[in-house]
Structures are given as C-alpha cells and as structure tokens.
Amino acid sequence: MAAHATLPFSCSSKLQTLTRTLSPRGPLHLRRGFIRLPSLAAFPRFSRAPHPSCRHISASAEASNGASAEGEYDFDLFTIGAGSGGVRASRFASTLHGARVAICEMPFATIASEEHGGLGGTCVLRGCVPKKLLVYGSKYSHEFEESRGFGWTYETDPKHDWSTLIANKNTELQRLVGIYKNIINNSGATLIEGRGKIVDPHTVSVNGKLYTAKNILVAVGGRPSIPNIPGIEHVIDSDAALDLPSKPEKIAIIGGGYIALEFAGIFNGLKSDVHVFIRQKKVLRGFDEEVRDFLAEQMSLRGITFHTEQTPQAITKSNDGLLSLKTSKETIGGFSHVMFATGRKPNTKNLGLEEAGVEMDKNGAIVVDEYSRTSVESIWAVGDVTNRINLTPVALMEGGAFVKTVFGNEPTKPDYRAVPSAVFSQPPIGQVGLSEEQAIEEYGDVDVFVANFRPLKATLSGLPDRVLMKIIVCATTNKVVGVHMCGDDAPEIIQGIAIAVKAGLTKQDFDATIGIHPTSAEEFVTMRNATRKIRNNTASEVESKDEVVTKQ
Ligand SMILES: Cc1cc2nc3c(=O)[nH]c(=O)nc-3n(C[C@H](O)[C@H](O)[C@H](O)COP(=O)(O)OP(=O)(O)OC[C@H]3O[C@@H](n4cnc5c(N)ncnc54)[C@H](O)[C@@H]3O)c2cc1C
C-alpha cells in the first residue's frame, strides 16, 4: 500500500463553495434503529450568552437547547470526527445557536488508519472529491475516440501522465484541507488535533487530555473493509487506489458495488487492462435490474472484463512482482495491482463506545433513533458510522437535523425520502426514488416508461454508446415514484429531476413540461406510452408495442 503522506493543516484562506458531489448507493434500505422520541423536556435550557455571530437569533430559538450551564461542562458539544457530518453539525451548532463547540480530528494521511485521518473526512480526502477528479481525468480517452467522427485527427495518440494528475489532485486536496480548517475556525468552534475517545457519557479524551461536554457527537465515518485471505498484504483499497505512485497496467478489482465500478471506469479510461470480479451474477446489487444490466453491457463495450459469480480466495506475488488472483472459479495472473472494493466498516473500534454503554449492531454501526440519538442520552451519532444511507449529502442532512433537535429547540428527523444518488461509472448512473422492483413491491400496480436509445453524439462518433432512461409511476396515484438514467450527464440531469420526485409530481406534470431540444434529458418529458403496465404485482404485465423507444 502507498506510504502515508503528511499534509499541513494550513492553506488558502479563501472560502469557496466546496465540491458537493452527490452519489450513489444502492437503493436505500434504512436500517431500523430503536425508536425513542426525545421529548422537549429532555433538552436542557439555554443558559449562557450566545456566540457573537448569532446574537440575532430569535428568543424562541434561544429558549431551550443543548447548551450547559456556565462552568458545568467545558463544551456544549464535543464532536469526534471532522468529516462531512461532524463539520456540518459543529459549524451550525456554533454559528446558528451560539453553542460552545469543540471538534477533534486526527492528523492527515493519504490512507486512513486508527491514528490518521484529516480535516474534511472521507468525501474530501478519500472519496467523492478525489474520485471525481480522477473520473474527469480518465474520461478524455473516450472523448478523444468520439472526436474522430467529428473530424479530429491526431498524428499520435494523446499520452497521459499519471503523476501530473495525482500531483494536481493532491494540491487541490491540500487547498480543501485548508478551507475546512478555516470553516471550523471561522465558526468559533475549537479545533483539536488528535484521536478522540469516549471516556464516559460526558467526557472525551484526546491525546490524554480530558474534555467534558453536555453532548457528544460521534461522526467518525468508516474505512474500507477487506477480507483476511492469504496474500491480502499485496492488495490495495480505495484509499490507496486514489494515490498510487504509478498507473496500474493490469488491475483486478474485487467488488460489484459503486466504488468498484467507478474505479473500473477510471482505470479503463486511463488505458489499464481492467478485470472486475463479482460474487453475484450482476453488478450493483439493490439498483434497478434493467439499469444493472445496461451498465454492465456498456462497461463491457468499453473494454472492461467482468468475471461473475467468483469469490476471491488468495493472492500470490511472483518473482517479477506481478500478482495472481485465485478465485472460486479460476486463477488469473499478470496483475500489477489487485484492488478490493468489498465494502466499508464503521470506525467504532477502540472508541470507548462499549464502555460508555452505546449500542452497536453486528457490523459495528452505532444504533440511533430517528433523531440520531444513541442508547446513551448525551451521545449522538451521524453519518456513515450509523450506516443509514452512506452519502455525503445525507451525513450533512443528519448533522443539520441533529443541531436543530439539540440546539434549536426543533426536534427534526432526517428525511430519507427520495434521496437521489449517482454512480460515477462510465457511463454514469443517476437515480432517485424506487427501482421498478421496489415500486412493484410497494404499490403493486405500476406503469413503467423506458427509453433505450442511441444519443445524438453517437451518430457521428460511431461508438456503440447508448442511453437508458426509466420513469416508474404508481398507477393508482399517477405519481412518479422513481426515475433512473444511465448515460452521459445522468447525475446532473437526475439532480434536477429529483426535485420533481421529492415534490410528489405526477406523470402528467412531466408530460406537461416542455423539453429542451436537442438533449437526451428531453426524453424524460416525452415518454408518452407506458412500456409496461404491471398490475397486482405480477400476472397481467402488459407489454406495449414500443417496449424500447429508439431515438436516433
Ligand atoms: C471511494 C469513495 C467514494 C465516494 N464517493 C461518494 C460520492 O461520490 N458521493 C457521496 O455522496 N458520497 C461518496 N462517498 C461516501 C462519503 O464519502 C461518505 O458518505 C461521507 O464522507 C460520510 O461522512 P461522515 O461525516 O459520516 O464521515 P467521514 O467523512 O468519513 O468523516 C469521519 C472523520 O472522522 C475522523 N475520525 C475517525 N475516528 C476518529 C477519532 N477517534 N478521533 C477523531 N477523528 C476521527 C476521520 O479521520 C474522518 O475525517 C464515497 C466514499 C468513498 C470511500
């Protein structure tokens, strides 16, 4: 694995809008925590002057919140982990409600460990942001191929320099770490560098120093989880894959989830020989079945080899340094890299949670109620550590709802309805709401509109690129309950469509909307005839004549 690099905790002071890349996850199965609704009486009364930056807040907001009496505790809130959820909650508690907040974060390293992390957390340092930068970098090869049909010629094929991409990506990450430091400092919260550990329901230790707080927020996220099989010391995880010293020549990627597919697209775009090994028959468990098939086909057409129904058993390294992967079906050699993208585990080990009485599930995720409160009254948890929907915007929402509940006198549950997400594969997926299968299970009678077409660009590029779009409608109410797309710009398009789905708009509303021509997105407002009408869960599936809309 790549060695740890150290970044300073300083950078540009200019506050900028942070990249907010939305993303995926299989359709959203929420784990049910125990339900314990906190009564307003459970929230302590506000008892001290607010932070100067929020003197304007209303009397009612000040009347009751999670602040402690002066001197009772060092802080009103102590947050462990300065990632998406922790920073959002700490900042809002301090600036909006005048709470006395401390937040601790471990020193930066490229690869996260029990002792290393970095301001900004996974999204900024080892997830959404660096991943998307590499996706951008890798997409050019497909665009170069497309350009030939539009008249471009090259004397020689353009060359890619991996070290330039990684160096520029790292410069950007340093800038973001600096921005996060400024965000925290400007909010008035106290930033403490080091590993936090819960000592008791109101005490956290960092580097041996004890801090007391009325409320503790655990926002420690998760880390890659890799099975312990022979030769596992030779493999890399997603942290390392984002910061390799050289580009893989031939890579085996184990896993069929969104992270595996995004990296497969990155390395394929950069002209590595990419093999994806999945345990099941299909990629992206939990996504719409038609979308799963479509994406795998499109990725195969771009040169990625899928090995299905295979479990990895061992990795061996030969004298020439190349790796062989033995699976339940075959052994393939010659890999420069083997990457495991086999899931993530919450960072709850050795955090003092058991000792403090905080309940966890069998995967180590913290069990919380609908307000993100743990089984210990003063300890709360948001983000990936609770394993609800593990996405940055969801961690932000949970952090914001926690602050309203505890400091704003406004008990607020995070709202998990119609959370849109994306897979930044190539081509990418955007989706919001239910898959066809989930909609049938939930509503029984469902109308499905499908368009599978060759986009305009492909007519001249000559490439076999296609686009898949689906609208899923509850036949009883005519409400659009799910929208899915796989094709260029799908995440950008679905972000807009998500507003309509969240607002509960009907298929008529979609039909009444005028398209923007010529775009792929206009198909979402011009799909007139249902491709399938599913009634009473199965039997009378009516296939319409235009099963697949072909748009040339
Ligand atoms: C490769 C990859 C790609 C992703 N792409 C996307 C995407 O495109 N879109 C999207 O929405 N989501 C994406 N995600 C998921 C997203 O990154 C997470 O959902 C999000 O970061 C969760 O935020 P969080 O606050 O819960 O945890 P994190 O952001 O992980 O923050 C937790 C922080 O706590 C720190 N910490 C841990 N233990 C301690 C301790 N004891 N003391 C002090 N600090 C501690 C860690 O160092 C870390 O900084 C991706 C994830 C990965 C791995």
Is 334 annotated to bind a ligand? Reply is no
Q: Ligand 1: which of 7, 23, 122 to mutate, judged by most atoms within 8 Å of the beta carbon?
A: 122
Confirm or deny that 259 is annotated as ligand binding: yes
SS3 category, 492: helix
Ligand 1 neighbour 196 (Cβ under 6 A): yes
Q: Provide the mean pLDDT of the chain.
A: 88
Token look-up 């009883």 returns 476
Distance in angstroms (rounded) separating the CA atoms of residues 38 and 75: 21
State the pLDDT at residue 13: 30
Return the closest-CA partner of residue 468 out of 454, 456, 479, 447.
454
Specify the pLDDT at position 70. Answer: 61
pLDDT of the residue at 64 = 45
CA-351 nearest atom, ligand 1? 41
Least confident range of 39-53, 378-392, 455-469, 475-489 = 39-53
Averaged pLDDT for residues 449-468: 97
State which ligand 1 atom lies nearest to the alpha carbon of 393.
Answer: 11
Residue type, 142: H
Q: For residue 550, is pLDDT > 80? A: no
Confidence of residue 330 (pLDDT cuts 50, 70, 90): very high
Q: Could you count the other beta carbons within 10 Å of the beta carbon of residue 512? A: 10
Closest residue by Cα to atom 15, ligand 1, is: 391
pLDDT of residue 543: 53
Q: Is 196 annotated as a binding residue?
A: yes
Q: Residue 424's pLDDT is what?
A: 98
Binned at pLDDT 50, 70 and 90, residue 65 comes out as: low
| Residue from 249, 224, 386 nearest 322 by CA | 249
259 CB near ligand 1 (under 6 Å): yes
Beta carbon of 491 within 6 Å of any ligand 1 atom: no
Centre of ligand 1 from the C-alpha of residue 125, in Å: 8
Would the CA dihedral through 15, 393, 422, 516 be positive or negative?
negative
The predicted-structure confidence for 127-136, as pLDDT tens digits, reads as follows 999 999 999 9
Percent of the chain with pLDDT over 70: 84
Domain covering 420-534: architecture: 2-Layer Sandwich (3.30)
Q: Is 103 annotated as a binding residue?
A: no
What is the value of pTM for the model shown? 0.88
Give yes or no for residue 117 having a pLDDT over 70: yes
- Please calculate the CA angle 470-473-479 and round it to the nearest 5 degrees: 130
Q: At residue 5, does pLDDT exceed 60?
A: no
Phi, psi of 88 (to 5 degrees): -60, -50
405 lines ligand 1 (CB under 6 A): no
Ligand 1 touching residue 248 (CB < 6 A): no
CA 526 to ligand 1 centroid distance, Å: 39
**Max CA separation in the chain (angstroms):** 74
With a 6 A CB cut-off, is 384 part of the ligand 1 pocket? Answer: yes
pLDDT of residue 235: 98
The CATH superfamily label for domain 232-342 reads: FAD/NAD(P)-binding domain (3.50.50.60)
546/203: higher pLDDT: 203
Q: What is the rounded CA–CA span in Å between residue 357 and residue 176?
A: 36
Rounded to whole angstroms, what are the CA distances from 271 to 72, 138, 302, 323? 60, 9, 10, 19
pLDDT at 450: 98
Amino acid at 328: S
Q: Are 248 and 373 in contact (CB under 8 A)?
A: no
> Which residue has its alpha carbon closest to ligand 1 atom 5?
128
Summarised one tens digit per residue, pLDDT across range 339-370 is 999 999 999 999 999 999 999 999 999 999 99
Nearest alpha carbon, ligand 1 atom 45: 81
For residue 37, pLDDT beyond 50: no
The DSSP bridge partners found for residue 397 are none
Whose Cα sits closest to atom 3 in ligand 1? 127
Cβ 104 under 6 angstroms from ligand 1: yes
Q: Give distance in angstroms: CA of 25 to centre of ligand 1.
A: 14
Q: Is the CB of 117 under 6 A from ligand 1?
A: yes
Residue whose entry in the numeric block shows the structure tokens 């345990």: 279
For residue 542, the model assigns a pLDDT of 52
Q: Which of 123, 211, 353 to mutate to test the pocket of ligand 1 (most atoms within 8 A of CB)?
A: 123
User: What is the rounded average pLDDT of the residues 141-159?
Assistant: 94
Q: How confident is the model at residue 157 (pLDDT cuts 50, 70, 90)?
A: confident
Answer yes or no: is the C-beta of 438 below 6 A from any ligand 1 atom: no
Positions annotated as catalytic residues are: 517
Q: Who's near 41: CB < 8 A, 6+ residues apart?
A: none
Distance, CA of 444 to CA of 426 (rounded, Å) = 33
Query: Which pairing describes strands 222-224 and 312-317: parallel, antiparallel, or unpaired?
Result: unpaired
Q: Is 83 annotated as a binding residue?
A: no
Segment 74-94 mean pLDDT: 98
Q: Which atom of ligand 1 is nearest to the CA of 123?
A: 17
Q: What is the pLDDT of residue 38?
A: 33
- Lowest-confidence region among 67-81, 254-268, 317-331, 392-406: 67-81
Whether 545 has a binding-site annotation, put simply, is no
126-135 in b/e burial notation, b at 16+ Cβ within 10 A? bbbbbbbbbb
- 384 known ligand binder: yes
Q: Which CATH architecture has domain 75-223+345-408?
A: 3-Layer(bba) Sandwich (3.50)
For residue 537, what pLDDT is reported? 59
**Among the atoms of ligand 1, which is closest to the Cα of residue 385?**
26
Q: Is residue 250 over pLDDT 90?
A: yes
Domain ranges of the chain: 75-223+345-408, 232-342, 420-534
Is pLDDT at 54 greater than 60 in this prediction? no
- For 367, 453, 493, the CA distances from 520, given in Å and listed in that order, are 42, 9, 9
Domains 75-223+345-408 and 420-534 agree in fold: no
